[in-house]
Amino acid sequence: MAIINNAHPGSEISLLCLIYRVILRNNQKLTSAEFGELCRPENLPLNDNQRGKFPENFKFWMGDGHRLWYEDDDSKLALTRIAASEQPKAIAVVTSEALFEHRIDDIFVDEKYQTEKLFKGLGCLLASDRFTLDANRRTSNSELDNFFAENLPESMPNNSFKPT
Protein backbone atom coordinates (compact mmCIF):
# COMPACT_ATOMS: atom_id res chain seq x y z
CA MET A 1 0.00 0.00 0.00
CA ALA A 2 1.53 3.32 -1.06
CA ILE A 3 1.66 6.11 1.48
CA ILE A 4 1.97 8.83 -1.16
CA ASN A 5 -0.28 8.65 -4.20
CA ASN A 6 1.43 10.69 -6.90
CA ALA A 7 -1.77 10.84 -8.91
CA HIS A 8 -3.06 13.63 -6.66
CA PRO A 9 -2.56 17.30 -7.55
CA GLY A 10 0.53 18.82 -5.98
CA SER A 11 2.51 15.59 -5.90
CA GLU A 12 4.30 15.96 -9.23
CA ILE A 13 7.67 17.29 -8.06
CA SER A 14 9.00 17.78 -11.59
CA LEU A 15 6.01 19.99 -12.47
CA LEU A 16 6.37 21.90 -9.20
CA CYS A 17 10.02 22.70 -10.00
CA LEU A 18 9.21 23.64 -13.61
CA ILE A 19 6.36 25.94 -12.62
CA TYR A 20 8.33 27.53 -9.80
CA ARG A 21 11.40 28.19 -11.99
CA VAL A 22 9.38 29.78 -14.79
CA ILE A 23 7.49 32.04 -12.38
CA LEU A 24 10.77 32.93 -10.62
CA ARG A 25 12.32 33.98 -13.94
CA ASN A 26 9.18 35.94 -14.91
CA ASN A 27 7.85 37.09 -11.53
CA GLN A 28 4.78 39.32 -12.07
CA LYS A 29 5.22 39.31 -15.86
CA LEU A 30 2.94 36.45 -17.04
CA THR A 31 -0.77 35.84 -16.66
CA SER A 32 -1.99 32.29 -15.97
CA ALA A 33 -3.04 31.92 -19.62
CA GLU A 34 0.34 33.11 -20.92
CA PHE A 35 2.08 30.85 -18.44
CA GLY A 36 0.03 27.83 -19.56
CA GLU A 37 0.82 28.48 -23.21
CA LEU A 38 4.52 28.75 -22.42
CA CYS A 39 4.83 25.68 -20.17
CA ARG A 40 2.22 23.33 -21.56
CA PRO A 41 1.55 23.74 -25.25
CA GLU A 42 -1.78 22.32 -26.39
CA ASN A 43 -0.14 19.56 -28.49
CA LEU A 44 2.07 18.27 -25.64
CA PRO A 45 -0.44 16.06 -23.73
CA LEU A 46 -1.24 12.76 -25.40
CA ASN A 47 -4.50 12.03 -23.56
CA ASP A 48 -7.10 13.62 -21.25
CA ASN A 49 -5.31 12.40 -18.12
CA GLN A 50 -2.07 14.12 -19.16
CA ARG A 51 -4.01 17.21 -20.25
CA GLY A 52 -5.36 17.63 -16.73
CA LYS A 53 -2.11 17.10 -14.79
CA PHE A 54 -0.55 20.49 -15.44
CA PRO A 55 -3.54 22.68 -14.49
CA GLU A 56 -4.30 20.50 -11.43
CA ASN A 57 -0.75 20.80 -10.10
CA PHE A 58 -0.56 24.49 -11.00
CA LYS A 59 -3.81 25.30 -9.14
CA PHE A 60 -2.93 23.10 -6.16
CA TRP A 61 0.06 25.26 -5.21
CA MET A 62 -2.13 28.38 -5.38
CA GLY A 63 -4.37 26.95 -2.65
CA ASP A 64 -4.79 28.19 0.91
CA GLY A 65 -2.54 26.52 3.44
CA HIS A 66 0.31 25.78 1.01
CA ARG A 67 0.43 28.69 -1.45
CA LEU A 68 3.65 29.10 -3.45
CA TRP A 69 2.31 31.54 -6.07
CA TYR A 70 -0.76 33.69 -6.67
CA GLU A 71 -2.27 36.11 -9.18
CA ASP A 72 -1.65 39.75 -8.26
CA ASP A 73 -4.09 42.63 -8.87
CA ASP A 74 -3.05 42.77 -12.54
CA SER A 75 -3.66 39.00 -12.96
CA LYS A 76 0.09 38.38 -13.19
CA LEU A 77 1.65 35.39 -11.44
CA ALA A 78 3.82 36.16 -8.43
CA LEU A 79 5.70 34.00 -5.96
CA THR A 80 4.83 34.10 -2.26
CA ARG A 81 8.41 33.10 -1.35
CA ILE A 82 11.57 33.61 -3.35
CA ALA A 83 13.97 30.64 -3.31
CA ALA A 84 17.71 31.20 -2.93
CA SER A 85 18.26 29.61 -6.35
CA GLU A 86 16.47 27.66 -9.08
CA GLN A 87 17.89 24.37 -7.82
CA PRO A 88 15.44 21.70 -6.57
CA LYS A 89 16.90 21.88 -3.04
CA ALA A 90 16.15 25.61 -2.77
CA ILE A 91 12.66 25.08 -4.17
CA ALA A 92 12.18 22.27 -1.61
CA VAL A 93 12.98 24.73 1.18
CA VAL A 94 10.28 27.22 0.13
CA THR A 95 7.84 24.35 -0.49
CA SER A 96 8.47 23.02 3.02
CA GLU A 97 7.97 26.51 4.45
CA ALA A 98 4.65 26.80 2.60
CA LEU A 99 3.46 23.35 3.71
CA PHE A 100 4.33 23.90 7.37
CA GLU A 101 3.44 27.58 7.69
CA HIS A 102 0.05 26.84 9.23
CA ARG A 103 -0.06 24.59 12.26
CA ILE A 104 -2.53 21.71 12.00
CA ASP A 105 -3.82 20.95 15.48
CA ASP A 106 -5.75 17.80 14.56
CA ILE A 107 -5.45 16.24 11.12
CA PHE A 108 -8.57 14.14 11.74
CA VAL A 109 -10.87 17.13 12.22
CA ASP A 110 -10.58 18.64 8.75
CA GLU A 111 -11.44 16.28 5.90
CA LYS A 112 -9.25 18.19 3.42
CA TYR A 113 -6.16 16.42 4.79
CA GLN A 114 -7.54 12.95 3.92
CA THR A 115 -5.31 11.19 6.44
CA GLU A 116 -7.82 9.40 8.62
CA LYS A 117 -7.96 6.25 6.47
CA LEU A 118 -4.17 6.19 6.19
CA PHE A 119 -3.63 6.25 9.95
CA LYS A 120 -6.46 3.82 10.65
CA GLY A 121 -5.03 1.40 8.09
CA LEU A 122 -1.47 1.70 9.36
CA GLY A 123 -2.62 1.41 12.98
CA CYS A 124 -4.69 -1.66 12.18
CA LEU A 125 -1.75 -3.32 10.39
CA LEU A 126 0.62 -2.52 13.25
CA ALA A 127 -1.82 -3.81 15.87
CA SER A 128 -2.33 -7.07 14.00
CA ASP A 129 -0.17 -10.06 14.79
CA ARG A 130 -0.46 -11.26 11.15
CA PHE A 131 2.07 -8.88 9.67
CA THR A 132 5.59 -8.50 10.97
CA LEU A 133 8.80 -7.15 9.52
CA ASP A 134 10.14 -10.45 8.28
CA ALA A 135 12.80 -10.02 5.59
CA ASN A 136 12.22 -13.54 4.27
CA ARG A 137 8.50 -13.16 3.58
CA ARG A 138 6.63 -10.74 1.37
CA THR A 139 3.00 -9.85 2.09
CA SER A 140 0.73 -10.45 -0.91
CA ASN A 141 -1.99 -8.12 -2.18
CA SER A 142 -4.63 -10.79 -1.51
CA GLU A 143 -3.51 -11.06 2.13
CA LEU A 144 -3.93 -7.31 2.52
CA ASP A 145 -7.31 -7.39 0.76
CA ASN A 146 -8.54 -10.14 3.09
CA PHE A 147 -7.16 -8.35 6.15
CA PHE A 148 -8.83 -5.02 5.31
CA ALA A 149 -12.11 -6.68 4.25
CA GLU A 150 -12.21 -8.43 7.62
CA ASN A 151 -11.01 -5.60 9.90
CA LEU A 152 -11.44 -2.24 8.21
CA PRO A 153 -13.68 -2.54 5.12
CA GLU A 154 -14.22 1.25 4.84
CA SER A 155 -10.46 1.70 4.39
CA MET A 156 -9.96 -0.98 1.76
CA PRO A 157 -7.05 0.13 -0.48
CA ASN A 158 -7.83 0.30 -4.18
CA ASN A 159 -5.57 -1.25 -6.80
CA SER A 160 -3.70 2.00 -7.50
CA PHE A 161 -2.20 1.81 -4.01
CA LYS A 162 -0.86 -1.72 -4.37
CA PRO A 163 2.52 -2.82 -5.67
CA THR A 164 2.54 -4.84 -8.87
Q: Is the pLDDT of residue 45 over 80?
A: no
State what percent of residues in the chain have pLDDT above 70. Answer: 84
Residues 125 and 143: their CA atoms lie apart, in Å, by 11
- List alpha helices for the chain, DSSP H: 13-25, 32-39, 48-60, 88-99, 116-127, 141-151
User: Where are the chain's structural domains?
Assistant: 13-99, 111-161
Those residues whose C-beta lies under 8 Å from the C-beta of residue 147, and which sit 6 or more positions away, are 124, 125, 128, 130, 131
Q: 76 - beta bridge partners?
A: 31
What confidence score (pLDDT) does residue 2 get? 42
CB 35 within 8 A of CB 48: no
Q: Is the pLDDT of residue 6 over 70?
A: no
What confidence score (pLDDT) does residue 30 get? 96
Those residues whose C-beta lies under 8 Å from the C-beta of residue 55, and which sit 6 or more positions away, are 36, 40
